């Protein structure tokens, strides 16, 4: 370890920055957030530093700096950030001799202090530094962490603090207490706090404490939409919940790259569904969710697309609600949005389509029972989920009910994944085109004038 990370209270200390150009400005901005009293010495200053001086946020002195003659009395930290590297270095060396903390910009080893990259979720602070080896890597990691750590973590910190004494009184064993907190902070109570619903969170923690005192623990269920396939289309919340899952129930639509984000310790239960071959009947899935939660597990129910769009999410949570199991539903990008964007087919368009309908093409006793006269009307886009088997019947019914047979129509196969294919035709030609290709599930059928825009608006490489 080349540098030991420390967090210093600078509120009653005095800091000195030498230089007032762009590099110094970054450091000045960071230091001002700490509440320190700040002096800046420079031969010239950028407009922002001048403005900060005029506002009284810092004291700016125009002078050429000589470490040998400067009076460092009362200075706690020096930052040498001029564009003159030998000068920066000599300031660093001088401070080292005098025992004054000094940070030297531009990676010189002359200083003893590093000003790290900061993720500020005050009072929670995360500092990153690569020992000067790779500022690019530091920036990259910072971006990743910024995305992953909720903006309002501070609320979670204060909420946890407000319950600390009660939890300590109720659970004496530190190991048990730590597990209690781990579960709470990765569970629904924490989600409520982050969404400003502290009362709901308070009621959950009270229940959990009562259960803990009675020697029980109840789990929770997160019903999470995993999007259409591309892991980049997960929501931040879905990603966070995936990365902290304890046990997961997932089906065939959840892509392998998404499953690879699960922790290695997470138990995986496949409950895949194929039209005729249900790996686990829906009732059993519903019951498994309840059973796992009652065993005290925190369960992630991961579903393709959005759980509430042809996802039977409603049925799954109905049983949870009946059994008093706490749950939360997290939306995902539905196949229609994902496939449309990745194949250059806008679902609505001022000129061609004023509405869009998501329709199930699932066959019931070999027929697609739908309000065809309504669906055949012009000016709307139709998106058929589960429409591959019934494709011919769907196209024919629309033609029979008055939609032009030249109406453009497309099948998007494995949309948003590297294997995506888009097969474009019209109501009359599409069934034949599909027959001549070996099309694999999942596929989405989009019908309407907007499909014709695919040729010009498509940006994503498709395998066709």
Catalytic residues: 251, 273
Nearest distance in Å: CB 234, ligand SAH: 13
Distance between CA 129 and CA 135 in Å, rounded? 8
- As a three-state string, the secondary structure of the chain is CCCCCCCCCCCCCEEEEECCCHHHHHHHHHHHHCCCEEEEEECCCCHHHHHHHHCCCCEEEECCCCCCCCCCCCCCEEEECCCCHHHHHHHHHHHHHHCCEEEECCCCCCCCCCCCEEEEECCEEEEECCCCCCHHHHHHHHHHHHHHCCCCHHHHHHHHHHHHHHHHHHCCCHHHHHHHHHHHHCCHHHHHHHCCCHHHHHHHHHHHHHHHHCCCCCCEEEEEECECCCHHHCCHHHHHHHHCCCEEEECCCCCHHHHCCCCCCCEEEECCECCCCECCCHHHHHHHHHHHHHCCCEEEEEECECCCCCCCHHHHHHHHHHCCCEEEEECCCCHHHHHHHHCCCCCCECCCECEEEEEECCCECCECCCCHHHHCCCCEEEEEECCCCCHHHHHHHHHHCCCCCCCEEEEEECCCCCCCEEEEEECCCHHHHHHHCCCCCCEEEEECHHHHHHHHHCCCCCCC
Would you say 187 or 305 has its CB closer to ligand SAH? 305
343 binds ligand SAH (CB under 6 A): no
Stretch of 40-48, 186-194, 428-436, 441-449 lying at the interface with ligand SAH (CB under 6 A): 441-449
Nearest distance in Å: CB 251, ligand SAH: 9
**Considering only residues 37, 334, 343, 381, which one is a binding residue for ligand SAH as defined by CB under 6 A?**
334
Stretch of 26-34, 137-145, 397-405, 440-448 lying at the interface with ligand SAH (CB under 6 A): 440-448
**Considering only residues 113, 290, 444, 447, which one is a binding residue for ligand SAH as defined by CB under 6 A?**
444
339 binds ligand SAH (CB under 6 A): yes
Would you say 102 or 398 has its CB closer to ligand SAH? 398
311 binds ligand SAH (CB under 6 A): yes
CA distances from 53 to 28, 36, 277 (A): 11, 14, 72
**Considering only residues 253, 254, 293, 325, which one is a binding residue for ligand SAH as defined by CB under 6 A?**
253
Distance between CA 312 and CA 80 in Å, rounded? 61
Nearest distance in Å: CB 310, ligand SAH: 4
Nearest distance in Å: CB 222, ligand SAH: 16
Name the closest residue to ligand SAH (Cβ): 305
**Considering only residues 111, 150, 229, 425, which one is a binding residue for ligand SAH as defined by CB under 6 A?**
229
**Considering only residues 19, 92, 228, 231, which one is a binding residue for ligand SAH as defined by CB under 6 A?**
228
347 binds ligand SAH (CB under 6 A): no
Nearest distance in Å: CB 305, ligand SAH: 2
111 binds ligand SAH (CB under 6 A): no
304 binds ligand SAH (CB under 6 A): yes
Nearest distance in Å: CB 446, ligand SAH: 10
CB 77 within 8 A of CB 12: no
Nearest distance in Å: CB 454, ligand SAH: 15
Stretch of 146-154, 197-205, 258-266, 407-415 lying at the interface with ligand SAH (CB under 6 A): 407-415
390 binds ligand SAH (CB under 6 A): no
Stretch of 78-86, 140-148, 344-352, 408-416 lying at the interface with ligand SAH (CB under 6 A): 408-416
Nearest distance in Å: CB 142, ligand SAH: 32
254 binds ligand SAH (CB under 6 A): no
Site for ligand SAH in 129-168 (CB under 6 A): none
The residue count for binding ligand SAH (CB under 6 A) is 22
Distance between CA 140 and CA 150 in Å, rounded? 17
What is the phi/psi pair of residue 224, to 5°? -120, 130
**Considering only residues 42, 220, 443, 446, which one is a binding residue for ligand SAH as defined by CB under 6 A?**
443
Residue ranges that bind ligand SAH, judged by CB under 6 A: 228-229, 253, 303-306, 309-311, 334-335, 339, 385-386, 412, 414-416, 442-444
């Amino acid at each position: 370890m080349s540098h030991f990370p420390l967090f210093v209270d600078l509120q009653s200390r005095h800091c000195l920055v030498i230089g007032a150009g762009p590099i110094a400005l970054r450091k000045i901005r960071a230091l001002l957030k700490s509440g320190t009293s700040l002096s800046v010495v420079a031969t010239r200053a950028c407009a922002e530093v001048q403005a900060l001086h005029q506002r009284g946020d810092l004291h700016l002195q125009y002078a050429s700096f000589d470490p040998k003659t400067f009076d460092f009395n009362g200075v706690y930290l020096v930052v040498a950030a001029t564009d003159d590297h030998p000068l920066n270095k000599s300031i660093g060396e001088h401070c080292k001799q005098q025992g004054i903390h000094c940070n030297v910009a531009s990676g010189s080893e002359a200083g003893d202090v590093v000003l790290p990259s900061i993720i500020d979720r005050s009072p929670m602070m995360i500092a990153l530094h690569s020992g000067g080896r790779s500022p690019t890597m530091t920036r990259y990691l910072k971006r990743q962490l910024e995305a992953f750590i909720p903006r309002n973590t501070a609320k979670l910190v204060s909420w946890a603090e407000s319950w600390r004494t009660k939890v300590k009184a109720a659970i004496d064993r530190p190991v048990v207490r730590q597990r209690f907190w781990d579960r709470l902070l990765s569970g629904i109570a924490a989600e409520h706090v982050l969404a400003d619903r502290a009362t709901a969170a308070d009621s959950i923690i009270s229940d959990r404490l009562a259960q803990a005192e009675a020697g029980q623990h109840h789990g929770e269920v997160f019903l999470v939409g995993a999007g259409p396939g591309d892991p980049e289309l997960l929501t931040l919340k879905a990603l966070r919940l995936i990365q902290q899952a304890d046990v997961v129930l997932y089906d065939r639509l959840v892509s392998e790259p998404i499953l690879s984000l699960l922790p290695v310790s997470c138990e995986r239960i496949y409950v895949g569904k194929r039209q005729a071959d249900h790996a686990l009947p829906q009732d059993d899935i519903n019951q498994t969710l309840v059973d796992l939660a009652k065993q005290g597990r925190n369960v992630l129910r991961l579903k393709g697309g959005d759980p509430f769009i042809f996802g039977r999410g409603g049925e799954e949570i109905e049983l949870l609600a009946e059994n008093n199991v706490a749950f939360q539903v997290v939306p995902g990008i539905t196949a229609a949005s994902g496939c449309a964007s990745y194949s250059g087919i806008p679902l609505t368009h001022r000129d061609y389509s004023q509405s869009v309908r998501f329709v199930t093409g699932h066959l019931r006793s070999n027929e697609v029972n739908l309000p065809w006269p309504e669906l055949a009307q012009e000016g709307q886009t139709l998106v058929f989920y589960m429409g591959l088997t019934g494709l011919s019947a769907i196209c024919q019914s629309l033609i029979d009910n008055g939609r032009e047979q030249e109406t453009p129509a497309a099948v998007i196969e494995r949309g948003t994944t590297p294997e995506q294919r888009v097969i474009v035709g019209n109501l009359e030609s599409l069934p034949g085109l599909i027959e001549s290709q070996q099309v694999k599930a999942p596929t989405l059928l989009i019908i309407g004038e907007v499909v014709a825009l695919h040729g010009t608006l498509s940006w994503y490489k498709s395998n066709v």
